[in-house]
Structure 1
Amino acid sequence: MEAPRPASADISHYLGALRRHWWIALVATGAGLGAGAVVTQTMPKVYESATSVLVQSVDQDTNAQGGRTKGAVNLDTEAQLVGSGAVAVKAGTLLRSGISPVELARSVSVQVPANTTVLVITFQADTPQKAQAGSHAFAEAYLRNREETARYQLDKQIRSLNLKVKQLTGALTGINARLASAVPGSPTESNLLSLRNNSQNQLNSLTGRLNELTTTTVGGGSIISDARLPETPSSPNTWLNIGAGAMIGLLLGLCLAYLRERFDRRLVTAADVRDRGRVPVLATLDERSTPHFDDVLQPYGPGGRVFNRLRNEVLASLEPDDQIIVVTGTSRGSASTLVAANLAAALARTGSDVVLIGAHLPDSVVDAAPLARMLGVSAVPGLSDLLAGRVGLSRALQRTPRIPSLRVITTGGAATAAGLMQSQRLKDTLQALRGQGGYVVIEAPSTSSSADAQSLASLADAAILAVELRRSRRPALEDATEQLQRVGTRLLGAVVMPRLTVPRPSEIEAPAVTLPAPSPRPSPAKDDGHEAPTQQLAAVLKRRDGDTK
């Protein structure tokens, strides 16, 4: 018998949850695709156009230590100047769009390719034309600003040189005047001559520098690749948004599938019975091995092998004196009938005397047909007739035609079943069957429908739960386990099967039966070698009715 173990969290558990709830992941992924498409349609379109500018050094350029290029131009500084306020004002003047310089500066970005003196100026706008015009305007504004700055620095140097030339010219005029009045050959004349030579040399140098500056052509750079009209928007990216939406939807679907699996109260797999219900699983039936209701399983079929293994495990789990096994279900249905009949047949095939009792009392004769049809016996008389005192034990016991060692007490005909499962007559019947030897398998109603299953379990030595997947729920399984524990019945485990499809009562052909006349005094008839226990039961029943022997 398989021992309970803690819930596992391996990859198969998550794959099983995904297999059972694949539709949630599919719907969530579809919703993510739709959301990505909607976001793409609602997002404003953004176009980008880029202009490449070759930056040339001018006299005022100085490169910071550690710059990315070895030239005089520091491109990192120039990239910051492109988005400056002065350049943005000039770009706004060129565009004539009425947009503030701050907004224009936010739409421009600059990239510096490695090991080059090139600036790539990119402008974003809501139309291709605006993007192209904006990129070109910022490139022109940057070059103009750079040229104006260089021209201003050059003019400043020219003004400074002119002032110095003017000063030197005045000084030289004064020296010449003083030299004219000096005594020839005197020391004063020698000093004035030396001063005049120095001033003349400085004036010549400044004049040459001034001539060079006045003839210098200022050029801070040039456009080497002008902005082009973009054909497609750079944002939103349709495939990126749809792909991201699908991924987010898939992740959300997986989370929802796991949460549904985690908080689902239904029992979907045998692992749920074992891990979430903490009940050992004795056998697991699938769609192929689950028997039909119109016949008992063949011993060598797929289901027959399952019940043969179940029989072996049950026999290994029973104590030497254990004889009575009750089979009950966790939900309304015929799962307990199916398991009890096939287990009794498997036990009887070993040669042991087995009595199968259908204790799920019916509301009509038609309800008793499935068990009778499965084993090929008459639906009446049965347990309800026996407990009501209309027939004796020998009349209620019927031998199955295909398995001679298996005898059956069907549920019987329609009767008022209130209190019959708690009556002393049932206890005496089970005691008499226990005295005959062999095994007794009781097919009990589900623990969720009435307290009869608990009452029958209190008279049994062991119990087996029949669990229909997708019909049974975890609280019902826990309640069934607790009911059996409270009466001290040892639970061997559960037999798990898929949800059964039972024929409707209108589709079941009710067998022709003749109910025997009520007899308050059942006669102690012989019962195929079991006369003594039957007579004892009859005597007990007579004493309970107030009769004297």
Structure 2
Amino acid sequence: MRTPAARTLADYGVIVRRSWWLIIGTVAAALAGGFAYTAQSEEVYESTSAILVLPTASDTAVAGARTAGQVNLDTEAQLVKSTEVAVAAAEALGSADPDGLVSRVSVTVPPNTAVLEVTFRAGDAESARAGSVAFSEAYLDHRRSGATASLESAIATATVGLDAVNAGIASTEDELSGMDSGDDGRSGLESELDGLRQQAEKIEVEIAGIEAQRGAISPGRVINQASVPKAPVSPNAMFNLAAALGVGLPLGLILAWARHRLARRIAYPADLVDRCELDVLASVPPAVKFQRREVFGAYSPGGRVFSQLRNVVVSQLTHEQRVIVVAGVAPGPAASVVAANLATAMARAGDRATAVAANPSTTVGLPELFGTDSVPGLADVWSGRVDLAVATHAAPRQPSLNVIGPGAAARATGPTSEAAAETFSKLAEAGRFVIVDAPPLSCSADAQLLAGHADAVILAVQSGRDSIAETAAAALAMRQIDTPLLGAMLLPAVLGPMNTVPLPAARRELTAADARGRDRISEDETPTDSLEPVEDRGQEATTLVLPVVPAAEPR
């Protein structure tokens, strides 16, 4: 038996096919949301400037930086978005909200470069370009000011030192001017004065060098000027639609799977396999139409399906196994349709078959499908009123097919185990196959009783009508007996005239007054209720002799 563990890709395809409208609807809704979001989003333009950062005298090499050299570009990227730079950029742009400008700036450092890419976002192209230029210039000015301040501080420090040395020189010269050439200590003061003068010259050279550096400060330069963007970067319609599709399609598949798992009625053969653990013997496609209350033609689409069903069933039975019970899940014509067409397919293949109507509550019975009499029938045989041979009627258009109707007492006389065993035994001896149209399992245990004396069981399931729970319960009920459950036959949801409750000829003859309020018959009634009882002929049940009835004219 096939179980859900054996699910294939085709089974998932069935799930998708079952809920294609739900998947498409979900994707369409997601795409509509993407369109709406794109339409309502404000346009955003971006403009980028590229700044080559050069080292200054105040820069020193930093250990652990991503790039070698004296400049840590990660630090410089943060300086671009600093408050001082933002305030200067706001003044250049005439804005009073520096913090708002900072939120619209992004700085990136390309790998293995000394370049900062400053990107500014704005609602129009010109503002985006102006913002990128303003932040680039403000950053370079800030970097230049920092380097200049550092050099000026060094110059001031050196100037203080130079002043101190000049004061020492003046003091020493004063002392020397008051001494004679031969005085003691004069040579020492002269030597000290020479040292001070050399120190002063050295400091002056240092100051001159620093001043030269101050004049040649180059903190960096803009190597790619910001340009006016030609198109907005946001909203990106293609990206939004792709994202909507990426969300809508998986969501639609999830909803389709949830609908499949939460479905209450049989819809596809995969439902029988996955949810009821039933093998599907055959399935009548929904495209096959039931035009009239009769069996399918031999070469019609439906006839081919039941011919294939016949081949599958026969291949699973031995020569001694002859009795097949066809049981429906819920009240309706499904079991009768399957039993009638399966018996016809067996007769067409050359096997002698007998179709037995053991379902008194169907909306359309075997006698109506085959054009035979409903009485006397099976219930009359079980009640002892007639012999089995008398209740057996030859099908008009199938010489090797016999039909036993439900009988006049169908609603009053149910099957007994002894009667069912005896009837099936006699019918099996007289023909190759016995096809029994059993009552539905959801409202009667008779099908289980009849199946206990049969050789095989087939469940007749109608898609869109039979529930998954009832079908699984019916399968379980049949597995609880020793008779093999071959599988299920799936019929489409629309059976055309089969689902219409017929009005018996006897009731059509009622007067208008008697027929008021009885224009239709409930599903629990059967045409045999209105027929007169068959008189007891006093025949005892003996060996079954099938009657030879001439073929009737086609109806």
Residue 144, structure 1, aligned to residue 141, structure 2: yes
Using a 3 Å threshold, how does the CA distance of structure 1 residues 436 and 229 change in structure 2: closer, same or farther?
A: closer
Contact 1:310 1:343 in 2 (8 A): yes
Which residue among 393, 401, 406 is the counterpart of 2:401?
A: 406
Corresponding residue number in structure 1 for 2:466: 472
Corresponding residue number in structure 2 for 1:335: 334
Contact 1:432 1:533 in 2 (8 A): no
Equivalents in 2 of 1:77, 1:428: separation in Å? 97
Which blocks of at least 5 consecutive residues in structure 2 are unaligned?
510-529, 547-555
| 1:72 shift after superposition | 4.1
Equivalents in 2 of 1:160, 1:345: separation in Å? 118
| 1:532 shift after superposition | 4.7
Corresponding residue number in structure 1 for 2:441: 447
Q: Superposition RMSD on alpha carbons, in Å?
A: 3.9
Residue 279, structure 1, aligned to residue 278, structure 2: yes
Deviations 1:291-343 (A, max 9, x none): 87555455576655654554455445456765432211123432212221232
**Residue type at the aligned position of 1:173:** A
**Residue type at the aligned position of 2:197:** Q
Corresponding residue number in structure 2 for 1:541: none
Equivalents in 2 of 1:428, 1:67: separation in Å? 95
**Residue type at the aligned position of 1:153:** S
Equivalents in 2 of 1:351, 1:38: separation in Å? 68
Contact 2:45 2:128 in 1 (8 A): yes
Corresponding residue number in structure 2 for 1:547: none
| 1:345 shift after superposition | 2.8
| 1:251 shift after superposition | 0.8
Corresponding residue number in structure 1 for 2:492: 498
Deviations 1:223-245 (A, max 9, x none): 44444444443333222122101
Equivalents in 2 of 1:70, 1:347: separation in Å? 91
Which residue among 94, 104, 107 is the counterpart of 2:104?
A: 107
| 1:257 shift after superposition | 0.9
| 1:23 shift after superposition | 1.4
SS of equivalent to 2:535:
coil
Using a 3 Å threshold, how does the CA distance of structure 1 residues 338 and 508 change in structure 2: closer, same or farther?
A: same
Which residues in structure 2 correspond to 1:136-535 (within 5 Å)? Answer: 136-184=133-181, 188-214=185-211, 216-217=214-215, 218-286=217-285, 295-297=294-296, 306-308=305-307, 310-315=309-314, 317-318=316-317, 322-349=321-348, 352-361=351-360, 371-372=366-367, 374-378=369-373, 381-383=376-378, 393-411=388-406, 417-422=410-415, 427=420, 430=423, 433-434=426-427, 437-438=430-431, 439-485=433-479, 489-503=483-497, 518-522=533-537, 524=539, 532-533=543-544
**Residue type at the aligned position of 2:441:** T
| 1:509 shift after superposition | 10
Corresponding residue number in structure 1 for 2:526: none
Select between 270-279 and 250-259 the one with higher mean Cα deviation: 270-279
Using a 3 Å threshold, how does the CA distance of structure 1 residues 276 and 506 change in structure 2: closer, same or farther?
A: closer
Contact 2:290 2:495 in 1 (8 A): no
| 1:166 shift after superposition | 1.5
Deviations 1:471-492 (A, max 9, x none): 3322121221233345654423
SS of equivalent to 1:464:
strand
Equivalents in 2 of 1:214, 1:469: separation in Å? 96
Contact 1:182 1:188 in 2 (8 A): no
Contact 2:417 2:450 in 1 (8 A): no
Q: Percent of pairs identical after alignment?
A: 35
| 1:106 shift after superposition | 3.0
Using a 3 Å threshold, how does the CA distance of structure 1 residues 306 and 227 change in structure 2: closer, same or farther?
A: closer
**Residue type at the aligned position of 1:244:** A
SS of equivalent to 1:50:
strand
Using a 3 Å threshold, how does the CA distance of structure 1 residues 480 and 260 change in structure 2: closer, same or farther?
A: same
SS of equivalent to 2:138:
helix
| 1:387 shift after superposition | 6.1
| 1:199 shift after superposition | 1.7
Equivalents in 1 of 2:429, 2:57: separation in Å? 121
Contact 1:48 1:132 in 2 (8 A): yes
Using a 3 Å threshold, how does the CA distance of structure 1 residues 270 and 225 change in structure 2: closer, same or farther?
A: closer
Corresponding residue number in structure 2 for 1:545: none
Equivalents in 2 of 1:486, 1:7: separation in Å? 23
**Residue type at the aligned position of 2:240:** N
Equivalents in 2 of 1:401, 1:491: separation in Å? 31
Equivalents in 2 of 1:411, 1:494: separation in Å? 24
| 1:103 shift after superposition | 3.7
Contact 2:389 2:544 in 1 (8 A): no
Equivalents in 2 of 1:90, 1:132: separation in Å? 16
Which blocks of at least 5 consecutive residues in structure 1 are unaligned?
536-549
Corresponding residue number in structure 1 for 2:512: none
**Residue type at the aligned position of 1:174:** S
Equivalents in 2 of 1:416, 1:18: separation in Å? 49
SS of equivalent to 2:497:
coil
Equivalents in 2 of 1:123, 1:517: separation in Å? 98
Corresponding residue number in structure 1 for 2:15: 17
| 1:159 shift after superposition | 1.7
Deviations 1:209-266 (A, max 9, x none): 3344446424434444444444443333222122101210111001111121222233
SS of equivalent to 2:169:
helix
Equivalents in 2 of 1:432, 1:52: separation in Å? 98
Corresponding residue number in structure 2 for 1:87: 85
Equivalents in 1 of 2:421, 2:74: separation in Å? 102
**Residue type at the aligned position of 1:51:** S
Using a 3 Å threshold, how does the CA distance of structure 1 residues 297 and 517 change in structure 2: closer, same or farther?
A: closer
SS of equivalent to 1:48:
strand
| 1:399 shift after superposition | 1.1
Contact 2:358 2:436 in 1 (8 A): yes
**Residue type at the aligned position of 1:88:** A
Contact 1:390 1:517 in 2 (8 A): no
Corresponding residue number in structure 2 for 1:540: none
Using a 3 Å threshold, how does the CA distance of structure 1 residues 358 and 418 change in structure 2: closer, same or farther?
A: closer
Contact 1:290 1:497 in 2 (8 A): no
Contact 2:357 2:404 in 1 (8 A): yes
Equivalents in 2 of 1:391, 1:190: separation in Å? 163
Select between 512-521 and 416-425 the one with higher mean Cα deviation: 512-521
Equivalents in 1 of 2:175, 2:209: separation in Å? 33
Contact 1:326 1:443 in 2 (8 A): yes
Equivalents in 1 of 2:180, 2:69: separation in Å? 57
Equivalents in 2 of 1:152, 1:115: separation in Å? 29
Equivalents in 2 of 1:51, 1:533: separation in Å? 104
Using a 3 Å threshold, how does the CA distance of structure 1 residues 226 and 304 change in structure 2: closer, same or farther?
A: closer
Deviations 1:456-515 (A, max 9, x none): 434544322112233332212122123334565442322234334231687989789999
Equivalents in 2 of 1:180, 1:56: separation in Å? 53
Equivalents in 2 of 1:118, 1:351: separation in Å? 92
**Residue type at the aligned position of 1:355:** T
SS of equivalent to 1:446:
coil
TM-score (norm 1): 0.81
Residue 64, structure 1, aligned to residue 62, structure 2: yes
Corresponding residue number in structure 2 for 1:48: 46
